[in-house]
Amino acid sequence: MPVFYLLELCQDLFGNWIIKCTWGSAVKQDFGRSNSTICPDYQTGLLWYEKQASRRSKRGYVSKDKLSQN
């Protein structure tokens, strides 16, 4: 079954930097599940984002940006 995984580094309404992970089935018509982690600052958030992105890449996930380049 096709799955999706979305990873975002963004600010919440209070100005905190957060990493938001959303995942689920690409077939079901729901929004999946999500988890948000507050980062102490932007630089730390960027580091955590890169670690998560690397981890997903090792597990076989392909970036949408890489798909559009082909």
Number of domains in the chain: 1
Is the pLDDT score of 66 beyond 90?
Answer: no
Per the domain annotation, does 69 fall within a domain? no
pLDDT at residue number 45: 96
User: 3-state secondary structure string, the chain?
Assistant: CCEEEEEEEEECCCCCEEEEEEEEECCCCCCCEEEEEEECCHHHHHHHHHHHHHHHHHCCCCCHHHHHHC
- Within a domain: residue 7? yes
Q: For residue range 32-64, what is the model confidence (pLDDT) as tens digits?
A: 899 999 999 999 999 999 998 888 888 777 776
Cα–Cα distance measured from residue 63 to residue 33, given in angstroms and rounded to the nearest whole number: 19
In a domain, 47, yes or no: no
Which amino acid does the sequence have at 65?
D
Residue 21 in domain: yes
Domain-embedded: residue 55: no
Domain that holds residue 11: 1-39
> What pTM does this model have?
0.71
Cα 52–Cα 45–Cα 36 angle in degrees, nearest 5: 70
Kindly state whether residue 11 falls inside one of the protein's structural domains. Answer: yes
